[in-house]
Amino acid sequence: MQKKSSATIYDVANRVGVSLATVSRVVNGNSNVRDSTKRKVLDAIEELGYHPNAVARGLASKKTTTIGVVMPDVTDMYYAELARGIDDVANMYHYDVLLTNTDEDPVRETMAVNNLSSKQVDGIIFMGNELDREVLNTIAAADAPVVLAGSVDSEGKLPSVNINYVNAIQEATETVINHGHRRVALVTGPMSHAINRLHRLVGYQAGLEAAGIEFDEGLLFTAHQDYAAGMQIAEKVLQAGANAVIAYDDEVALGIMNYVQEHGQRVPEDFEIITSNDTKFAIVTRPELTSIGQPKYDIGAVAMRMLTKLMNNEIIDDTQVQLPHTLERRGTTLD
């Protein structure tokens, strides 16, 4: 028998001669249906090609088994690796994933959270470098739990999974200082972003202070998160007399490295570089980039597992999870 392309629950009920409620019970695994009736309903579902609508089921169960993921850039290797961890754990717990790209635009981020809420998702995972007040207000109003993955909010109230960015940047800063460099630059994103102002900058200053080096604002730079921005900011880094740099993004670090080498600096003998995300960019360059190693897949996976617990109203002892980082020493540092 030819299957219908858009069979509905009404078609299944009519085929078997049962109520809509009976079909719904079978679809949702309710045991309060006679085996003979259940077999007839399942046969009709197969014959008609009926695919239950998750949102429609959610009207009765208040669950759609769907979660939303808000990403600033689906092409960015860092966020893509987080998304892999999210998706794998979501599949393990039988959740479908709705992915939305925002280009890190606060207006689009607000729209994304609102749209996902209107689709009755059971939970949301948010990724991005900044949560402005409007985004935070939208998240607070969402009728679903929200977990941050690789992101921070300035007040530290939302459940999140990260590394300790302060400690990571401090370790990177101290590493190049211990190699004899006193003019260490920090290249990061906008200081209006909490992750830069309250974490990366604080870790950088702590590293300088531990070495007895006074903070020089002339060695603090901000750049967009791409290769071209790294090439552009590198000129200013060299003009400031820096002989080492800590960069917040691998593409930025790659741009800096290529620029300084093109302008007579030997890496790492004259100029050292440590990047932060340890994506594939860090290992396809020559020399390979020394990087703060982040367990990106695990950050996504743990965030998704935390979300499953929140969606099931389970008690969570720690909603501010920090996973361990490493320092992957490669060719842009002396050891």
Taking residues 13-31, what's their average pLDDT? 81
- Output the pLDDT for position 2: 44
Do 286 and 192 lie in one domain? The reply is yes
Do both 129 and 220 map to the same domain? Answer: no
**Sign of the dihedral defined by the CA atoms of residues 222, 227, 232, 234, in that order:** positive
Domain range enclosing 270:
165-294
How crowded is residue 14: how many other Cβ atoms within 10 Å of its Cβ?
A: 14
Residue 44 belongs to domain with CATH number: 1.10.260.40
Report the SS3 class of residue 175. helix
Instruction: Please identify which residue in the block is written with the tokens 């790492």.
Output: 268
Q: What percent of the chain has pLDDT over 90?
A: 69
CATH code, domain with 265 = 3.40.50.2300
Q: Which residue has the higher pLDDT, 43 or 253?
A: 253
pLDDT at site 104: 85
Query: What's the structural domain count of the chain?
Result: 3
Give domain status of residue 3, yes or no: no
Residues 334, 268 contacting (CB under 8 angstroms): yes
pLDDT tens digit string along 215-230? 999 999 999 999 999 9
Regarding whether 171 and 144 lie in a shared domain, the answer is: no
pLDDT surpassing 80 at residue 34: yes
Per-residue model confidence (pLDDT) at position 6? 66
pLDDT classification of 1: cutoffs 50, 70, 90: very low
pLDDT of residue 4 exceeding 50, the answer is no
Residue 334 in domain: no
For range 188-199, the mean pLDDT:
93
> How do residues 175-184 score in pLDDT, each as one tens digit?
999 999 999 9
Q: Residues 188, 274: one domain?
A: yes
Residue 61: pLDDT band (50, 70, 90) is: low
pLDDT-wise least confident of 23-37, 106-120, 314-328? 23-37
Compare 2 and 135 and report the one with higher pLDDT. Answer: 135
pLDDT surpasses 70 at 53: no
pLDDT at 23: 83
Give, in degrees to the nearest 5, the angle at Cα 90 between 89 and 96.
Answer: 160
pLDDT for 60: 52
- Region 120-146: mean pLDDT is 89
Q: Which of 132, 113, 117, 121 is nearest to 90 (CA)?
A: 121
Task: Assign 62 a pLDDT band (cuts: 50, 70, 90).
Answer: low
* Res 59 pLDDT > 70: no
- Whether 80 and 37 share a structural domain: no
Which residue has better confidence, 58 or 268?
Answer: 268
Do residues 169 and 285 both lie within one domain?
A: yes
128 and 105, same domain (yes or no) = yes
Query: What is the torsional sign of CA 22, 97, 303, 58?
Result: negative
One domain, residues 158 and 301: yes
Domain shared by 214 and 225, yes or no? yes
Residues 116 and 212 in one domain: no
**Would residue 59 count as lying in a domain?**
no
13 band by pLDDT with thresholds 50, 70 and 90: confident
Looking at residue 55, what is its pLDDT? 53
| 118, part of any domain | yes
In this model, does residue 138 exceed pLDDT 70? Answer: yes
Task: Quickly tell me which residue has 């965030």 as its tokens.
Answer: 303
pLDDT reading at 19 higher than 90: no
pLDDT score of 133: 84
- Cα–Cα distances in angstroms (integers) from residue 153 to residues 41, 74, 149, 157, in the given order: 49, 21, 11, 7
- Are residues 289 and 176 part of one domain? yes
Share of the chain above pLDDT 70, in %: 94
Q: What is the model's pLDDT at position 3?
A: 44
Which tens digit of pLDDT belongs to each residue from 79-127?
A: 999 999 999 999 999 999 999 999 988 899 999 999 998 888 999 999 9
Residues 70, 175, single domain; the answer is no
Q: What is the value of pTM for the model shown? A: 0.81
Structure tokens at 202: 């604080």
